[in-house]
């Protein structure tokens, strides 16, 4: 099938409808659907797309090449890559335009669907934009059924897009003069845009409307064919585009007979390139060192080949640099001919142009104007052009500290307006070009020496990255310990003898971050491939198999389900990013060439989501994993293993399926970092008081209707990882009589498993819980085996509360004295829970109990303090949020300036002043610390005075609140606060130093735990979110309030 424009009177007039037909046909290619493509036989998806693209390009060459530039077409095919036009129209503003154009009533179903909040929250993804564009096209086309379309030519559409463009560059004005457009006038206001678009939309059919809107919204609707489209234009086009990010350059430079040189396929001045990236460590550090030594040998052989008489250098090791927590930024400088001035360009890793913020000339912006100082007049006069690579961070001028990345962009705007608080700090770590010489092909050592001679750092403005030499694995260990001690992001290892590789990620650069190696586990960027809706929706994430295949796509294997850490706002954002892209599994099973899930079998129950999604239309989640599960629980996923206690840290809108974790990366990670779960005490993973002994007696087996239970759908993961043996019915005033099979059904609905053996097959994550409310032969036998028998009331209470509750006396049917004692400490003498919520029936029972007691009001306070002091948690109980966390709380006496308070300088005969000191100390120590301790204990946490055994180190901000509450003794207060802050900084430094000393390297692996240093808000926020949050976002920053 060709694109011969046979329906047009003038075959040389390229109608926009023909381009739309090409879009539609290309997007219709499906893996499992060959409908409409029978002429291709059994051709693969790649081959079908290639044929369609080549047919379209051949048609353009025959009919339209002379009067329609391919650049004009390519900008519409790949609108998200068009850096030449900016429409400043987002999906919501276009929806408002359409509503106004059509007079859409706010009470209409169309309006409600169009302005569904899920569609406009979060970053616009291609699937979401397609849904919005289709909805808007529906609304317009249904009101103009007689419009057939095919009115506009491609050149006319190009002219319209130029009018919508909010930029005003000379090149664009020239383009407008050379195209057959309706007008060369620029439209600045939304009213002007609305009038133009309404005229255009009124003459378009449904398909034209949809794709016109996607072009204006800069949707990546042809992203899956980008490489194929570029390569169809020219074999070197994808590579050339990666170093220019310019469709115009690709079209103008790459003609059919042109073959670019290696230099032309390298970095280009004033054009953004894809920077070199550091890889995760895949080898032991000793192996990394050995690879650098081999690289040096290769380098010396190269030198000897050039000049066999030159003396060979000695191995000087490798570079160890601090890993920076900022945003990648490349700087291009070009001298304006005949002047001493320079033009500047600033590009991010994703080719975003930040020049308007950071400066376009020597005297503008928040960074460009300082390059005269850091380069110096002597060197500056000899420089014609320059390209630097580095990282931009946010810098606090008052405190002389680098701030977290999140504060960067707001400070950028403030800096332009002469802020006296924050400013951008640019840290340079590489140079790629100087005076038209591409030094990126030189070894890093030469590039570093060039930077040192060229750049004179200006503290707080423009600096060189801190870099020093390393030669051994021990040097890496020492550097990592220093990074932990200083609370930095980590370190980067760099091969001194390798060139700079554009758009590459290999082991020439290796990044080592402490959180990859410590007890809290590793961060994983995982792509969502499925969804299980329930009370708390779970997202099934998968691992990509093999290297990224832009054309055919990749197979994804299911790996884990994530529900923890996802707030309501996060859920709404994920749903908005994936809107319109979900498919129901039962109605449409995904092809195995796309997604693979573990199906139920004799090897395990498997896990199949209710909905699935193509990874290309999906979102990426950053997951924190505490451990890896290899047992039966891992068999629920296609990968064969999964994560334990996984929770979402962030939605990675800066990543997509191509940059998510692959199966190969996970396997390498798994091999390097061994699981800690096998070292954990069994008591942290099971509810029984002691290990069950084998029994020689054959016992009557309770009935288990397996066929029926298989048909029960799961509505929540409340009892996930728990196996129940239901030993009896249950009867109470609240529930009435509940049969065994009904209890089993409720457990199954809420994610639990049912078994009928006293020796169940348990994975590391499983807990075995026998349930009974009657003294039977089987119940007594279980108790004699050492099991604690729990009342089914605990199951009902957990379901009512939507969370796992701690054991209270009413939940304990037949338990050990130890468990019962712990349970009794969680309620007062009336049966009221200190930590749980009351149901209506429990409240009525409590009122009845109160009527049987005489209450002495004078004793309430004392009793409360005594009882809350002894609130304890049975750490064998499975429900405690902090059940395996040991906490070290930095005591107040280490921070208070005790000697200064007692000195003559501060302590006078003023009795009020002395009392104020005592009051300050008393309230801080008793109320604040006890409050934190109660929160930790009530959720299963333990305490330790030794930081060697701690998994969390909490530094309460004792003075923060009360310092601002005191209205007198200001001079004394400020002096005490200053000393306190200094003591606090010293203590945190001491703690980090102690932690760093404990870390050792064994074959590249870290042995020893790295506890996080947090403030008390980490505890309260984790409890509020009902999961352990990412501790690194709660780090106590030295010098920060």
Residue 517 DSSP symbol: T
Predicted pLDDT of residue 220: 80
Instruction: Let me know if residue 961 belongs to a domain.
Output: yes
Same-domain status, 331 and 374: yes
Predicted pLDDT of residue 107: 81
Instruction: Let me know if residue 879 belongs to a domain.
Output: no
List residues bridging with 526 in a β-sheet.
621
Residue 927 has pLDDT above 90, yes or no: no
User: How close are the terminal C-alpha atoms of the chain, in Å?
Assistant: 69
Q: Average pLDDT for residues 88-95, to the nearest whole number?
A: 83
Burial of 459 (0-12, 13-18, 19+ CB in 10 A): exposed
Residue 166 has pLDDT above 80, yes or no: no
- Per-residue pLDDT band for 154 (boundaries 50, 70, 90) equals very high
Residue 706 has pLDDT above 50, yes or no: yes
Predicted pLDDT of residue 543: 95
Residue 959 has pLDDT above 80, yes or no: no
- Which residues have CB under 8 Å from 120's CB, separation 6+? 91, 92, 95, 576
Q: Average pLDDT for residues 45-67, to the nearest whole number?
A: 90
CA separation for the pair 672, 674 (Å, rounded): 6
Same-domain status, 236 and 91: yes
Same-domain status, 570 and 434: no
In 802-859, alpha helices (H): 817-824, 840-850
Instruction: Let me know if residue 134 belongs to a domain.
Output: yes
* Highest averaged pLDDT of the listed ranges 125-129, 418-422, 479-483, 885-889: 885-889
Q: What is the span of the domain harbouring residue 604?
A: 519-673
Sort strands 789-790 and 812-814 into parallel, antiparallel or unpaired: antiparallel
546 or 113: which carries more pLDDT confidence?
A: 546
Sort strands 437-438 and 422-434 into parallel, antiparallel or unpaired: antiparallel
- Which residues have CB under 8 Å from 145's CB, separation 6+? none
- Which residues have CB under 8 Å from 779's CB, separation 6+? 727, 728, 770, 772, 789, 813, 814
| High-pLDDT (> 90) share of the chain, % | 28
Residue 178 has pLDDT above 50, yes or no: no
Same-domain status, 313 and 388: yes
CA separation for the pair 376, 454 (Å, rounded): 8
Least confident of 220-229, 513-522, 676-685: 676-685
Predicted pLDDT of residue 286: 84
Shortest CA distance to 441 belongs to which of 281, 261, 272?
261
List residues bridging with 318 in a β-sheet.
470
CA separation for the pair 139, 95 (Å, rounded): 10
CA distance readout (Å), 285 to 467, 471, 512, 1016: 18, 11, 10, 36
Sort strands 722-726 and 767-771 into parallel, antiparallel or unpaired: parallel
Q: What is the CA radius of gyration of the chain?
A: 33
Q: Do 659 and 620 contact (CB within 8 A), yes or no?
A: yes
Last residue of a domain, one of 242, 269, 293: 242
CA separation for the pair 341, 672 (Å, rounded): 52
- Which residues have CB under 8 Å from 974's CB, separation 6+? none
- CA dihedral sign of residues 426, 432, 436, 437: positive
- Per-residue pLDDT band for 879 (boundaries 50, 70, 90) equals very low
Q: What is the CATH number of the domain that holds 132?
A: 1.10.3260.10
Predicted pLDDT of residue 305: 84
CA separation for the pair 278, 280 (Å, rounded): 7
In 30-153, alpha helices (H): 45-59, 70-77, 91-102, 109-114, 117-120, 126-141
- Which residues have CB under 8 Å from 98's CB, separation 6+? 104, 114, 136, 139, 140, 201
Which of left, alpha, beta for 464 (phi over 0: left; psi -120 to 50: alpha)? beta
pLDDT digits 0-9 by tens, 766-805: 578 899 988 877 787 778 777 889 999 999 888 887 788 8
Q: Do 786 and 689 contact (CB within 8 A), yes or no?
A: yes
pLDDT digits 0-9 by tens, 596-627: 998 877 666 678 999 999 999 999 999 876 66
Last residue of a domain, one of 512, 541, 574: 512
Would you state the structure tokens that stand for residue 845, as one six-digit string? 């029972």
Q: Do 955 and 1013 contact (CB within 8 A), yes or no?
A: yes
CB neighbours (10 Å) of residue 397? 15
Would you state the structure tokens that stand for residue 841, as one six-digit string? 């029936």
Q: What is the CATH number of the domain that holds 329?
A: 3.30.470.30
Residue with structure tokens 């893996």?
31
pLDDT digits 0-9 by tens, 816-843: 888 888 888 888 776 667 666 565 556 5
Predicted pLDDT of residue 180: 39
- Per-residue pLDDT band for 109 (boundaries 50, 70, 90) equals confident
Q: Do 119 and 132 contact (CB within 8 A), yes or no?
A: yes
Sort strands 491-494 and 505-512 into parallel, antiparallel or unpaired: antiparallel
Same-domain status, 466 and 323: yes
Same-domain status, 700 and 649: no
Predicted pLDDT of residue 349: 86
Same-domain status, 351 and 431: yes
Same-domain status, 400 and 489: yes
Would you state the structure tokens that stand for residue 791, as one six-digit string? 């009342």
Q: Containing H/E element for 379?
A: helix 371-380
Instruction: Let me know if residue 278 belongs to a domain.
Output: no
Instruction: Let me know if residue 877 belongs to a domain.
Output: no
In 750-816, alpha helices (H): 777-784, 793-801
Residue 384 DSSP symbol: S
Last residue of a domain, one of 512, 547, 579: 512
Q: What is the CATH number of the domain that holds 809?
A: 3.40.50.10190
CA distance readout (Å), 864 to 267, 805, 849, 859, 874: 71, 22, 18, 8, 21
Predicted pLDDT of residue 272: 93
In 870-969, alpha helices (H): 898-902, 911-923, 930-938, 958-965
Chain-centre distance for alpha carbon 210: 31
Question: To 5 degrees, how large is the angle CA 406–CA 511–CA 347?
Answer: 50
List residues bridging with 477 in a β-sheet.
none
Instruction: Let me know if residue 914 belongs to a domain.
Output: yes
Instruction: Let me know if residue 842 belongs to a domain.
Output: no
Show the 3-state SS of 954-1007.
ECCCHHHHHHHHCCCCHHHHHHHHHHHHHHHHHHHHHHHHHHHHHCEEECCEEE
Q: Do 344 and 354 contact (CB within 8 A), yes or no?
A: no
Count up the domains in the chain and report the number: 5
CA separation for the pair 748, 754 (Å, rounded): 7
Same-domain status, 428 and 310: yes
Q: Do 129 and 219 contact (CB within 8 A), yes or no?
A: yes
List residues bridging with 431 in a β-sheet.
388
Residue 1040 has pLDDT above 50, yes or no: no
Would you state the structure tokens that stand for residue 84, as one six-digit string? 């030449």
pLDDT digits 0-9 by tens, 254-297: 987 889 988 888 898 999 998 999 987 766 788 889 999 999 99
Residue 566 has pLDDT above 60, yes or no: yes
Q: Average pLDDT for residues 129-158, to the nearest whole number?
A: 89
* Exposure b/e, 893-929, CB count within 10 A at least 16 = b: eebbbeeebeeeebeeeeeeeeebbeebbeebbeebb
Following DSSP, what letter does each residue of 587-636 receive, concatenated?
TSPPPTTTEE-PPPBTTB-----SEE--GGGS-EEEEEESEEE-SGGGGG
Least confident of 82-96, 189-203, 461-475, 775-789: 775-789
Same-domain status, 34 and 131: yes
CB neighbours (10 Å) of residue 457? 14
Q: Average pLDDT for residues 526-544, to the nearest whole number?
A: 88
Residue 810 has pLDDT above 70, yes or no: yes
Shortest CA distance to 31 belongs to which of 661, 662, 589?
589
* Exposure b/e, 707-738, CB count within 10 A at least 16 = b: eeeeeeebbbbbbbbbbbbbbbbbeeeeeeeb
CA distance readout (Å), 235 to 74, 118, 232: 16, 41, 7
* Highest averaged pLDDT of the listed ranges 198-212, 536-550, 961-975: 198-212
CA separation for the pair 573, 501 (Å, rounded): 36
Same-domain status, 646 and 701: no
Instruction: Let me know if residue 289 belongs to a domain.
Output: no
Q: Average pLDDT for residues 754-773, to the nearest whole number?
A: 69
CA separation for the pair 848, 845 (Å, rounded): 5
Residue with structure tokens 């008793």?
926
- Which residues have CB under 8 Å from 897's CB, separation 6+? 976, 979, 980, 983
Residue 149 has pLDDT above 60, yes or no: yes
CA separation for the pair 694, 7 (Å, rounded): 84
User: Helices 568-577 and 126-141, interaxial angle, to 10°?
Assistant: 70
Least confident of 381-395, 748-762, 775-789, 939-953: 748-762
- Per-residue pLDDT band for 410 (boundaries 50, 70, 90) equals very low
Same-domain status, 56 and 166: yes
Residue 591 has pLDDT above 80, yes or no: yes
Shortest CA distance to 265 belongs to which of 254, 257, 255?
254
């Amino acid at each position: 099938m060709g694109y011969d424009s046979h329906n047009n009177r003038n075959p040389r007039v390229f109608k926009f409808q023909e381009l739309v037909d090409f879009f539609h046909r290309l997007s219709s290619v499906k893996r499992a659907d060959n409908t409409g493509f029978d002429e291709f036989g059994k051709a693969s998806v790649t081959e079908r797309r290639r044929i369609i693209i080549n047919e379209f390009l051949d048609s353009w060459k025959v009919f339209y090449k002379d009067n329609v530039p391919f650049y004009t077409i390519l900008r519409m095919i790949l609108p998200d890559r068009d850096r030449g036009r900016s429409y400043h129209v987002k999906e919501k503003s276009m929806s408002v335009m359409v509503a106004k154009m059509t007079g859409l009533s706010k009470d209409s179903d169309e309006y409600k669907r169009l302005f569904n909040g899920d569609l406009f929250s979060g970053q616009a993804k291609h699937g979401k934009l397609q849904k919005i564009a289709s909805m808007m096209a529906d609304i317009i086309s249904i009101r103009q059924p007689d419009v057939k379309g095919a009115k506009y030519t491609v050149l006319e559409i190009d002219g319209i897009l130029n009018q919508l463009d909010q930029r005003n560059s000379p090149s664009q004005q020239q383009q407008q003069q050379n195209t057959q457009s309706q007008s060369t006038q620029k439209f600045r206001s939304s009213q002007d845009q609305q009038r133009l678009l309404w005229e255009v939309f009124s003459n378009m059919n449904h398909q034209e409307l949809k794709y016109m809107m996607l072009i204006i919204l800069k949707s990546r609707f042809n992203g899956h064919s980008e490489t194929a489209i570029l390569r169809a234009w020219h074999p070197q086009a994808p590579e050339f585009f990666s170093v220019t990010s310019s469709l115009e350059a690709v079209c103008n430079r790459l003609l059919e007979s042109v073959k670019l040189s290696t230099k032309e396929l390298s970095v280009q001045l004033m054009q953004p390139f894809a920077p070199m990236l550091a890889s995760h460590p895949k080898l032991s550090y000793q192996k990394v060192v050995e690879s650098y030594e081999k690289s040096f040998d290769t380098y010396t052989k190269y030198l000897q080949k050039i000049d066999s008489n030159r003396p060979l250098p000695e191995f000087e090791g490798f570079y160890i640099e601090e890993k920076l927590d900022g945003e990648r930024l490349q700087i291009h400088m070009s001298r304006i001919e005949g002047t001493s001035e320079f033009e500047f360009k600033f590009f991010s890793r994703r080719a975003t142009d930040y020049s308007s913020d950071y400066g376009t000339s020597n005297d503008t912006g928040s960074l460009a104007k300082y390059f005269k100082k850091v380069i110096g007049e002597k060197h500056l006069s000899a420089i014609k052009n320059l390209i630097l690579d580095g990282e931009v961070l946010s810098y606090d001028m008052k405190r002389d500290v680098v701030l977290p990345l999140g504060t960067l962009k707001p400070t950028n705007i403030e800096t332009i307006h002469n802020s006296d608080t924050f400013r951008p700090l640019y840290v340079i770590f590489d140079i790629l070009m100087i005076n038209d010489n591409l030094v990126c092909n030189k070894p890093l050592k030469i590039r570093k020496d060039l930077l040192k001679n060229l750049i004179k750092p200006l503290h707080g403005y423009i600096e060189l990255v801190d870099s020093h030499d390393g030669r051994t694995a021990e040097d890496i260990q020492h550097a990592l310990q220093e990074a932990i001690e200083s609370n930095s992001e980590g370190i980067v290892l760099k091969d001194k003898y390798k060139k700079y590789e554009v758009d590459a990620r290999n082991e020439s650069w290796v990044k080592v971050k402490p959180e990859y190696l410590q007890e809290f586990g590793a961060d994983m960027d995982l792509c969502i491939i499925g969804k299980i809706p329930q009370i708390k929706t779970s997202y099934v994430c998968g691992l990509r198999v093999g290297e990224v295949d832009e054309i055919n796509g990749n197979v994804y294997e299911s790996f884990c389900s994530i529900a923890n850490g996802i707030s309501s706002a996060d859920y709404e954002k994920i749903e908005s990013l994936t809107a319109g892209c979900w498919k129901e599994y039962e109605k449409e099973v995904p092809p195995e060439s796309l997604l693979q899930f573990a199906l139920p079998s004799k090897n395990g129950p498997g896990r199949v989501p209710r909905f699935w999604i193509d990874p290309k239309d999906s979102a990426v989640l950053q997951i924190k994993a505490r451990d890896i599960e290899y047992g039966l629980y891992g068999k629920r996923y296609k990968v064969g293993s999964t994560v334990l206690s996984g929770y979402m840290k962030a939605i990675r809108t800066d990543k997509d399926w191509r940059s998510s974790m692959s199966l190969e990366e996970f396997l390498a990670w798994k091999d390097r970092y061994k699981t800690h779960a096998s070292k954990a005490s069994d008591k942290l993973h099971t509810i029984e008081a002691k290990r069950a002994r084998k029994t020689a007696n054959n016992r009557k087996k309770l009935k288990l209707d397996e066929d029926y239970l298989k048909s029960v759908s799961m509505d929540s993961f409340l009892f996930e990882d728990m196996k129940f043996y239901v030993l009896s019915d249950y009867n109470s005033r609240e529930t009435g009589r509940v049969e065994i099979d009904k209890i089993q059904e409720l457990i199954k609905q809420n994610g639990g498993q049912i078994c009928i053996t006293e020796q169940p097959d348990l994975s590391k994550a499983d807990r075995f819980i026998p349930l009974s409310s009657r003294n039977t032969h089987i119940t007594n036998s279980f108790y004699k085996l050492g099991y604690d028998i729990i009342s089914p009331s605990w199951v009902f209470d957990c379901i009512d509360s939507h969370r796992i509750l701690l054991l209270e006396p009413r939940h304990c049917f037949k338990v050990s004295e130890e468990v019962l004692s712990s349970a009794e400490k969680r309620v007062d003498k009336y049966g009221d829970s200190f930590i749980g919520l009351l149901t209506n029936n429990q409240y009525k029972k409590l009122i009845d109990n109160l009527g049987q007691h005489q209450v002495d009001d004078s004793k309430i306070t004392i009793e409360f303090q005594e009882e809350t002091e002894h609130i304890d948690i049975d750490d064998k109980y499975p429900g405690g949020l902090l059940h395996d966390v040991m906490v070290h709380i930095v005591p107040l006496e280490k921070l208070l300036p005790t000697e200064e308070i007692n000195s003559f300088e501060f302590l006078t005969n003023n009795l009020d002043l002395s009392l104020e000191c005592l009051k300050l100390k008393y309230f801080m120590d008793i109320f604040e610390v006890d409050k934190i301790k109660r929160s930790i204990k009530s959720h299963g946490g333990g305490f330790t005075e030794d930081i060697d055994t701690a998994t969390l180190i909490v530094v309460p901000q004792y003075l923060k609140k009360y310092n601002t509450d005191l209205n007198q003794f200001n001079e004394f207060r400020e002096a005490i606060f200053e000393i306190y802050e200094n003591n606090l900084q010293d203590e945190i430094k001491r703690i980090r130093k102690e932690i760093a000393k404990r870390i050792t390297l064994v074959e590249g692996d870290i042995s020893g735990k790295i506890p996080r240093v947090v403030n008390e808000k980490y505890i309260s926020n984790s409890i509020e979110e009902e999961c352990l949050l990412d501790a690194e976002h709660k780090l106590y920053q030295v010098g920060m309030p």
